[in-house]
Amino acid sequence: MKQEMKGLLLEDRWAPVTSEMGFLELGAEQAAQAYATWAREVMTPRGITVEVLPVTGTLEQVLSSLLPLTSGERRRHLFIPTHSAWTAYVADQWTGTDAASPMSAMARRLSIRGLRVVAVPHTLRGNQGRYGAVMLEVYGPEQPGKISNTVRALGASNDGGRWVFDQSGEPFPFEQVEQYQARRVRDRFTFEMLKDYLRHLGLAPFEEDFYMPPGSCAWLIQKTGPFGTILQEYTLEEARAARVL
Amino acid sequence: MIQQILLIRKPLDVALWWASGPWEDLAHWSHPLSEWERKYAEAMSAQTVPEALRMWPLVTPQRLTLEQREDMEQRLGTGAAAAEGYAHWENRRRIVNHYVLTHPATLQQLLGVYGLARDFNPLHFALERGWQMGSGQEMFTEQKVSQLGAAQEFFTALAVGVAAGKLMTATRPVPGWGVPEPVGPGKVEAPPAPPRAVARAPEPAPAPAPPAPAPGTLAPSPELVQALTGKNPTPQVPVGSRLRQDVTVKPKVPKLRETDRPISPSPRQNAQLQADIKYLKDVLQAENIRVNQQQVTLANGQRVGINRPDLQFDYQGQRYHVEYDSLTSGRGPAHQSRLTNNDPDAIIIRIIIPEE
């Protein structure tokens, strides 16, 4: 069962890294420095050094600074400027970026908005391919009386064999809420809807020219030091062979 | 499950609880029926129960339908163990269905809806009241009714109908007396419709979101904090053999779902879970946090079971699984063993939340 999803970023060549991305409503350098400050609070007592390094080039060139991809703990995180008020976030996890935890925590810490954006075509056939998912999570500043800072979450995903639709929070005025009643679960939140919602939020994250405005640079967070676990490294091709194809 | 029903009681709430948790989380509810569940099923499917209220008999793995088998293969895998687990889950579903559909409150509601639908059509109304006047019984339910009352309702409705007709005739607008005539097609453009407030489509049946305790005061679970500083109060158990349905699961990892979802009908457990997640994200920079999703290894490496730990996450290159239990729940040790068998490298934390 294959689900078409045309118009993915870089034609999905950088999946699984870009299958999930984070966004912070902040300039790239500020976002990277704020993340590094937070990371140092946690990493320095363990003897781990956190550096912030500028990276220039095309989108694919700056994404290459994350390589090799790794298992275990995250060593590299990348903040990429865009033609908008938002900065993109990806990391070096070989199975794909986890944007949920860092974006949610940064949104609360900096009192700004953060996003988690997921677009994975459902290509599973036997033991090949991937479970499909379309997700959007919007985080915000700390809210008095609330534990979670998730402002809005929407997702249609195949959770290991069964399609599920999740939503929480108040809908935005631009949402096509009637679509959430669609008979097929996967039709309740589609890739087209995701793109439309993101356009309303001021993002075009599936278009290459949305990233790296002329004269700008991305910012790489590099952690070095005594990580506890055994590190395994993967090329992008190895990760794709295991996780995407 | 019987305990849950006794706790929740209201049939609609029981149905919502089932839809939001056990219906989806099949693996958690595939163990053999408890004594109370068996007794409920035996009592309610006995021949002495009137047929209309009788529960369907318990299903066995051999009697699963083709459709059920397809569902089973997708959600539990194949084999005898999966069929047995699926049959247990199906029997629980039947118990919940029976409880909800035969509860007096549900029946009362259905009778009300029936009465409304019946009386909405004037012809049915007249026929029904005529039958009641003649027989003294409701036509469909055969409940006793007052013949005098039926006659009174019939004549009152007749009088109201006649009076309304006369009133409408008396107040009918006369053409040319200030009321615009209907516009013919193409004759004059109709004025633009006033902006219409778009009604928001009803949202799908929400998961029961019980009120949480005052969140500002909630600290992370002491068991969690201790475990992450190397002093796990939960003794780890030796690795045993894995269940067949876990061994045969596809290693492909689904995406992590939003973590605000509840894990239990207990408001206290859900609030504690959210306080723990906040601590993991904001203070410890834990990653790959999953709530009530199938078990996966470090860094989303692979799926290793169809069981669904309440909470799982990575911290400092280590995978952790957390189960929240009440003092009286006896399932904690079995869940812990299964988690360990599926991923011997993971650390398991059990957290006891006192009951409200």
Contacts of B200 in chain A (CB under 8 A): 171, 177
Query: Residue A65: which pLDDT band, with cuts at 50, 70 and 90?
Result: very high
Answer whether residue B35 shows pLDDT above 70: yes
CB B208 within 8 A of CB B17: yes
- Asked if A160 lies within 8 A of B254 by C-beta distance, the reply is yes
C-alpha dihedral over B5, B7, B9, B15, to 10 degrees? -50
Contacts of B250 in chain A (CB under 8 A): 127, 160-161
- Asked if B215 lies within 8 A of A150 by C-beta distance, the reply is no
> Which residues, other chains included, contact A182 with Cβ-Cβ below 8 Å and sequence gap of 6+?
A188
**pLDDT computed for residue B162 by the predictor:** 67
Counting beta carbons within 10 angstroms of the beta carbon of residue A2, is it exposed (0 to 12), middle (13 to 18) or buried (19 or more)? exposed
**pLDDT computed for residue B1 by the predictor:** 77
Query: Residue B120: which pLDDT band, with cuts at 50, 70 and 90?
Result: low
Question: Burial code of A213-236, b = ≥16 C-beta within 10 A, e = fewer?
Answer: eeebbbbbbbbeeebebeeeebeb
Answer whether residue B17 shows pLDDT above 60: yes
**pLDDT computed for residue B210 by the predictor:** 37
Q: How far from B352 is each of A213, B178, B230, B234, B280, CA to CA, in Å?
A: 52, 76, 19, 11, 18
- Asked if B258 lies within 8 A of A229 by C-beta distance, the reply is no
- Asked if A147 lies within 8 A of B278 by C-beta distance, the reply is yes
User: pLDDT tens digit string along A166-205?
Assistant: 999 999 999 999 999 999 999 999 999 999 999 999 999 9
Residue B170 Cα, gap to closest chain A Cα (Å): 44
**pLDDT computed for residue B115 by the predictor:** 65
Answer whether residue B168 shows pLDDT above 70: no
Angle at B338 between CA B333 and CA B344, to 5 degrees: 110
Average pLDDT over residues A129-148: 95
- Asked if B299 lies within 8 A of A93 by C-beta distance, the reply is yes
Query: Residue B6: which pLDDT band, with cuts at 50, 70 and 90?
Result: confident
The proportion of chain A whose per-residue pLDDT surpasses 70, expressed as a percent, equals 98
**pLDDT computed for residue A214 by the predictor:** 97
**Secondary structure (3-state) at A90:** strand
Answer whether residue A130 shows pLDDT above 90: yes
**How far is Cα B347 from Cα B288, in angstroms, rounded to an integer?**
15
Residue of A nearest to B279 (CA): A105
Establish if B282 touches chain A: CB-CB under 8 angstroms: yes
The proportion of chain A whose per-residue pLDDT surpasses 90, expressed as a percent, equals 91
Answer whether residue A41 shows pLDDT above 90: yes
| Phi, psi (deg, nearest 5) at residue B128 | -60, -45
- Residue written as token pair 């870089």: A10
Contacts of A133 in chain B (CB under 8 A): 254-255
Average pLDDT over residues B223-227: 97
Give the one of A73, A101, A180 whose C-beta lies nearest to B316's C-beta: A73
**pLDDT computed for residue B293 by the predictor:** 97
**pLDDT computed for residue A118 by the predictor:** 98
**pLDDT computed for residue B244 by the predictor:** 95
Contacts of A178 in chain B (CB under 8 A): 201
**How far is Cα B237 from Cα B229, in angstroms, rounded to an integer?**
19
Structure token digits, residue A109? 């810490």
**pLDDT computed for residue B178 by the predictor:** 34
Answer whether residue B225 shows pLDDT above 60: yes
Contacts of B260 in chain A (CB under 8 A): 148, 150, 153, 168
Give the ipTM of the model, two decimals please.
0.95
Paired residues of A53 in beta bridges: A220
**pLDDT computed for residue B251 by the predictor:** 95
User: pLDDT tens digit string along B312-355?
Assistant: 999 999 999 999 998 888 889 999 999 999 999 999 999 999 87
- Asked if B254 lies within 8 A of A167 by C-beta distance, the reply is no
Residue A229 Cα, gap to closest chain B Cα (Å): 6
In this structure, the number of other CB atoms found within 10 A of the CB of residue B125 comes to 15
**pLDDT computed for residue B170 by the predictor:** 55
CB A77 within 8 A of CB A221: yes
Query: Residue B146: which pLDDT band, with cuts at 50, 70 and 90?
Result: confident
**How far is Cα B20 from Cα A229, in angstroms, rounded to an integer?**
37
Contacts of B23 in chain A (CB under 8 A): none
- Residue window 101-130, chain B: list those with CB within 8 Å of chain A: none
| Residue among A119, A97, A89 nearest A23 (CA) | A89
Answer whether residue B277 shows pLDDT above 90: yes
- Asked if B253 lies within 8 A of A95 by C-beta distance, the reply is yes
| Phi, psi (deg, nearest 5) at residue A52 | -120, 120
- Asked if B218 lies within 8 A of A147 by C-beta distance, the reply is yes
User: pLDDT tens digit string along B253-265?
Assistant: 999 999 999 999 8
Establish if B205 touches chain A: CB-CB under 8 angstroms: no
Average pLDDT over residues A98-123: 98
Establish if B221 touches chain A: CB-CB under 8 angstroms: no
CA-derived radius of gyration, chain B:
29
Interface test with B, best of A41, A44, A101 (most B CBs within 10 A): A101
Establish if B284 touches chain A: CB-CB under 8 angstroms: yes
Give the one of A20, A105, A129 whose C-beta lies nearest to B282's C-beta: A105
Contacts of A71 in chain B (CB under 8 A): 298-299, 301
Answer whether residue B185 shows pLDDT above 60: no
- Asked if A150 lies within 8 A of B258 by C-beta distance, the reply is yes
CB A114 within 8 A of CB A87: no
- Asked if B275 lies within 8 A of A147 by C-beta distance, the reply is yes
Contacts of B275 in chain A (CB under 8 A): 147
Please indicate whether residue B202 or residue A214 has the higher confidence score (pLDDT). A214
Global pTM value: 0.67
- Asked if A129 lies within 8 A of B252 by C-beta distance, the reply is yes
Average pLDDT over residues B270-299: 97
Structure token digits, residue B93? 């579903």
Structure token digits, residue A24? 């912070």
Average pLDDT over residues A214-227: 96
Residue A101 Cα, gap to closest chain B Cα (Å): 6
**How far is Cα B351 from Cα B232, in angstroms, rounded to an integer?**
11
Paired residues of A125 in beta bridges: A128
**pLDDT computed for residue B150 by the predictor:** 72
Contacts of B273 in chain A (CB under 8 A): none
Contacts of B293 in chain A (CB under 8 A): 159-160
